[in-house]
Chains A and B, each alone.
Chain A
């Protein structure tokens, strides 16, 4: 294929984009909506994933013990925990300290707890266990539960798994919601892009039928329309990534500080999710453009 042919095909494709301004605009809007939806889902999911990772690194296993254990009984539990493989450090938090910590967490609302005295409150004493390997948390839990004598002294074991599975549920929820809607919008986009291309094809059906009689191959006839679909896709990608960047910055300014004070982890920078988003957008834009044109041209290529 020589240079002239290539420039001819691409030139025709660009001409089509501007020939049907209204339908091109409609196609742009729907692709844009699709991409923003997928983009928000992607950004949300990425952030939750990063939080899960940070949590895994920082949240240890916490073992809450029953109230009223004697010192020797406590020692027995502590010694046993220390003997478990992959336990790195064990830190004791007494019942008194537990109340203090709870009050600190509530900060200015601490008076809610004023009715409790140091010896009479619902917060149990606990052992905070740091592991040598975060993936072994379930092993530690199993080891504690396997000894009946120890198990009966323990009120509750909180592992990263319970926190993380909560976050994972959020992650799945985000993915399900946004990618579900996204998938639906992708289908709608393909149909609408297809319709736009169909208009362009219809306007040029005479030319196409002449091309067929003179012996043009289907690919040759299709190429300008595929170019048209891809151009719309790339335009939508550019607009979407810009707007997503702006939205993300707004969200960042609004929520980042809040997240850091409440759960200790901040949001990712937009730069961290830019690459993956751009990749997804290009695949979506080009893919929808190509699929839309190929589907809508089928009928006209029959002759």
Chain B
């Protein structure tokens, strides 16, 4: 599903963000990507999203090497992955419903399909009653649920979450993590970059740890830190 082969990334400023990364996340897996700020975590996510290109090495998504993909094809690659961010990134002048429908609009879904699909994902994330509200009328947790609904509405095969609980209180963070887990149980591959230590420790999922650009650990059922 997502495979990194000898991936290096050095930014034009000379910073070496990732050094010789090798890992493979299988279809249907749930993986945490952990590491302190500046560890190279975000660069890994950006390379998966094809926002940044690796300096060397290969990244294989869904069996396809994306290293030399034409920029024209990137939108179609991105349609196979849903993304959520720490800051939710919702459109403030659109309702919850419109924010989610927007993602279907731009992949040119039919109006009929949109009318059926949007209420379905909204109920999946538990926001059925709030479709007509605006983002500023929602709590942080609810806003992140909208972002999740938007990420999922086009049925991507994987979900990439970059610090999804970074702006949320612990209880809400757990709700979101449980939601991510149930999404994973429906068959979607889930990759979560985080430094929420307690959550990672308790969930006992695969943990890929990166430190100073180097992947220092890859545990099948790990905690945030383990005695190396």
Residues of A within 8 A of B (CB): 1-2, 4-5, 8, 206-207, 209-218, 220, 303
Chain B interface residue count: which class? Answer: 20 to 34
Report yes or no: B83 in contact with A213, Cβ–Cβ below 8 A. Answer: yes
Residues of A within 8 A of B78 (CB): 212-215
Classify the secondary structure of A's interface with B: helix
**Alpha-carbon distance between A43 and B97 when the two chains are bound, in angstroms:** 55
Q: Which single member of A2, A216, A217, A220 contacts B110 (CB below 8 Å)?
A: A2
Q: Which of B40-99 contact A (CB under 8 A)?
A: 49, 51, 72, 75-79, 83, 89, 91
Q: Which single member of A1, A8, A206 contacts B89 (CB below 8 Å)?
A: A206
Beyond A206-B89, A303-B51, 14 additional contacts (C-beta under 8 Å) are A4-B111, A5-B105, A209-B89, A211-B106, A213-B89, A214-B78, A214-B79, A214-B106, A214-B107, A214-B154, A215-B77, A215-B78, A216-B75, A216-B107
Residues of B within 8 A of A (CB): 49, 51, 72, 75-79, 83, 89, 91, 102-103, 105-108, 110-111, 150, 154
**Alpha-carbon distance between A207 and B135 when the two chains are bound, in angstroms:** 14
Report yes or no: A8 in contact with B105, Cβ–Cβ below 8 A. Answer: yes
Q: Taking CB as reference atom, which chain B residue is nearest A3?
A: B111
**Alpha-carbon distance between A1 and B111 when the two chains are bound, in angstroms:** 12
Q: Taking CB as reference atom, which chain A residue is nearest B89?
A: A210
**Alpha-carbon distance between A217 and B102 when the two chains are bound, in angstroms:** 14
- 14 contacts across the A-B interface (CB closer than 8 A): A5-B105, A206-B91, A207-B91, A210-B102, A212-B75, A213-B78, A213-B83, A214-B79, A214-B103, A214-B154, A215-B75, A215-B79, A217-B75, A303-B51
Residues of A within 8 A of B110 (CB): 2
**Alpha-carbon distance between A220 and B105 when the two chains are bound, in angstroms:** 10
Contact A215 B89, CB 8 Å, known A1-B108, A5-B105, A5-B108 = no
Report yes or no: A214 in contact with B111, Cβ–Cβ below 8 A. Answer: no
